[in-house]
Structure 1
């Protein structure tokens, strides 16, 4: 899949490699030729952001006014960065450091979650350069690989809210995941938005409650923009003939099709475990 995207890459596509950690900010030409184009292109874009002044001086890279809505910044700061600040260290090489309680720590001392989330965070900076700019010109698709990256379920929810921000700015997002937490969010959102009897105000309140957000001008706009978006879930199902895709967007727990009721196998083990333990009382 990645090779096909690389070979057929269009100007309106951006691939964010969640597993790539920004140890240093490499130029496009400094990579070995064997690296995929998307990795080199991503690193070059981030390097240009840093060269433009992001993170210079006393202002941290994150959190930073103008990048993300305040509610998103606060949530990510609390659940992932743990009140730490990302700063740019300029020496023989430019390095991104995490400052906690006045102590600057190199990337190898960060938690795995913080390291892996940093690349997604910087990619989002490029896509969402300012609250005054709705969308990056020429980019229509954003591809995000496994944003869960070992996150706690509540942190997964906060990261997913950045996806909501992308959708609200009219990006089309293709997201791959093995997290039942993300699928559960999609299921809840679809259930709330498509409910035939709930009023628009009630739906918005429930969506805000889902993300534990207060009612503000920013959050109301995000939720309102999000209401008209369509969330589709496809299961890449392994078969003897190869991998086939199946639309399981209903995510109906009561469906007769196991691929739908077990969310593409993501809750299969949980269901089996519950059934086994329940036998103790039979």
Structure 2
């Protein structure tokens, strides 16, 4: 007997999907940003040159969803949030208050206007967006993360919140072995990460000679302190530990209250093999129901986005997703199938002729586009193309 579907339930699902597709943030005249308008898919990638405001835009997304959580954390740390200039500095880092202009600055999330008076009322107080900042290795440079209140106002609040999350994990009862851990990651993803990053090593918390607990990487008889690790291992480990927060060791796919994930520069210090493992983990996150936003300077990340858009466009078999990531078919079937149904978007944040930043939707990622910003994937492939052109010209000239 065929299943009878409730039309009302289907309608609710359709409305929920529509709401997801409409999520956008508009930022005007804040710091170097002139006009940035971002509409979010299931996976959205931001690209652009250094200092183009990618991090500022993503921090505003955090405030739009979790302003109450942010303000409560600041107040709990004994910091005054009553004055607007102080609040901006506490959120974005000392000196950023000068980027706010009460007359011209405009921040909108969906249909809601954000101002300095209503930040503390945004969200429920429970974390809706989990933010993994860039330069995360600096938060644990001595092998241990600092709690929120130990980091000063020079540190953006998203980094302070992330450091607190790491501190709680390192201090928890399960902070013996942190990698590899069964039932925390899918076996196929765990094996990819091990082959690309740790090469059989084990990450955990151990006591040092001064009886202080610190991160260690164990390879055979070697127990290596954090600062002796490779740059990629130092950058990837806090990223992975942070993402553990989103992967409940239960039958639940995701944390109930958290729906968004921001990861800044997931490629930092990593070989393309390791970046591929990270992007496979990102597909797992969107399969779980999270909406993921990345900022990147890596062509490899956009190559993955291009891959998924093209496979979706051509109604490809889910097996081709597994083929692309070199993972076994059956264990990753659900993730691969879901990946082909998701919405992938990309935006370039670029400087205009006045030195201010605007956004451009480059989601098509079409190499044949007449718009160089789209064809060159926001500039990430333009330089290699120029190098290839120079070599081609040299070959042609030598044959004359």
Which position in structure 2 is the counterpart of 1:121?
240
Higher relative contact order, chain-length normalized (CA < 8 Å, sep 6+)? 2
Which position in structure 2 is the counterpart of 1:26?
146
Q: 1:172 to 1:7 in 2, by over 3 A?
A: closer
Which position in structure 2 is the counterpart of 1:132?
251
Q: CA deviation at 1:244?
A: 1.0
- Unpaired segments of 5 or more residues in structure 1? none
Which position in structure 1 is the counterpart of 2:203?
86
TM-score normalised by length of structure 1: 0.91
Q: CA deviation at 1:26?
A: 2.0
DSSP 3-state at the match of 1:168: helix
The higher radius of gyration belongs to 2
Q: CA deviation at 1:28?
A: 2.3
DSSP 3-state at the match of 1:127: coil
Which position in structure 1 is the counterpart of 2:97?
none
Conserved in 1, the CA contact under 8 Å of 2:319 and 2:336?
no
Which position in structure 2 is the counterpart of 1:281?
395
Conserved in 2, the CA contact under 8 Å of 1:113 and 1:151?
yes
Conserved in 1, the CA contact under 8 Å of 2:62 and 2:131?
no
- Unpaired segments of 5 or more residues in structure 2? 1-55, 67-126
Q: CA deviation at 1:102?
A: 2.8
Conserved in 2, the CA contact under 8 Å of 1:18 and 1:120?
no
CA distance in 2, matches of 1:72, 1:104: 25
CA distance in 1, matches of 2:59, 2:395: 51
Q: 1:219 to 1:3 in 2, by over 3 A?
A: closer
Determine if the alignment matches structure 1 residue 219 to structure 2 residue 321: no
What is the aligned counterpart of 1:70 among 179, 184, 187?
187
What is the aligned counterpart of 2:343 among 220, 230, 236?
230
CA distance in 2, matches of 1:36, 1:67: 29
Deviations 1:114-148 (A, max 9, x none): 00111111111111132522111211111100101
- Aligned pair count reads 273
CA distance in 2, matches of 1:131, 1:269: 46
Q: CA deviation at 1:160?
A: 0.7
Q: CA deviation at 1:55?
A: 2.9
DSSP 3-state at the match of 1:246: strand
DSSP 3-state at the match of 1:74: helix
DSSP 3-state at the match of 1:174: strand
DSSP 3-state at the match of 2:236: helix
CA distance in 2, matches of 1:229, 1:260: 21
CA distance in 1, matches of 2:155, 2:350: 29
Conserved in 2, the CA contact under 8 Å of 1:68 and 1:131?
no
Deviations 1:39-79 (A, max 9, x none): 222122222223332232xxx21001011100000000010
* Superposed counterparts of 1:142-221, under 5 Å: 142-196=261-315, 198=316, 203-216=317-330, 218-221=331-334
Deviations 1:199-248 (A, max 9, x none): xxxx21211111011112x3001111222111101111221142111111
CA distance in 2, matches of 1:3, 1:221: 32
CA distance in 2, matches of 1:50, 1:132: 23
Q: 1:6 to 1:209 in 2, by over 3 A?
A: closer
TM-score normalised by length of structure 2: 0.65
CA distance in 2, matches of 1:9, 1:215: 37
DSSP 3-state at the match of 1:26: coil
Deviations 1:158-188 (A, max 9, x none): 1111111110111011100010011011101
